[in-house]
């Protein structure tokens, strides 16, 4: 499971917990009045939409325009200007 999946799952579970707590606390304490399951489903749906929006804001950046990199060898000289050897360096465009 990658980081994006973990963040999305965590945000969804948080939204479900928040929506269910809100639905439970907003209902009156009387046993005679019942608003129906529509309020709970609506609260869960709103929580999931909010979680999706928030988790998308923190999603991993897309690397569509990532630079192309490769290794090249460059000559190495000592302080007297004498050739010592080569070193491998990373070159990106």
Taking the whole predicted model, whether its pTM rises above 0.75 is answered as no
Q: Would the CA dihedral through 69, 73, 79, 81 be positive or negative? A: negative
Q: What is the pLDDT of residues 43-70, one digit of tens each?
A: 778 887 877 777 766 666 666 666 789 9
List the domain boundaries for the chain. 3-57
pLDDT at 88: 96
Q: Is the pLDDT of residue 29 over 70?
A: no
- Is residue 42 within 8 A of residue 23, CB to CB? The reply is no
Q: How many whole angstroms separate alpha carbon 31 and alpha carbon 39?
A: 16
């Amino acid at each position: 499971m990658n980081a994006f999946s973990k963040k999305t799952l965590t945000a969804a579970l948080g939204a479900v917990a928040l929506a269910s707590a809100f639905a439970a606390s907003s209902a009156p304490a009387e046993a005679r009045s019942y608003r129906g399951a529509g309020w709970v489903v609506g609260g869960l749906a709103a929580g999931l939409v909010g979680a999706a929006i928030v988790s998308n804001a923190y999603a991993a950046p897309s690397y569509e325009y990532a630079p192309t990199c490769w290794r090249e060898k460059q000559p190495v000289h000592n302080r007297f200007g004498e050739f010592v050897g080569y070193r491998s360096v990373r070159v990106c465009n």
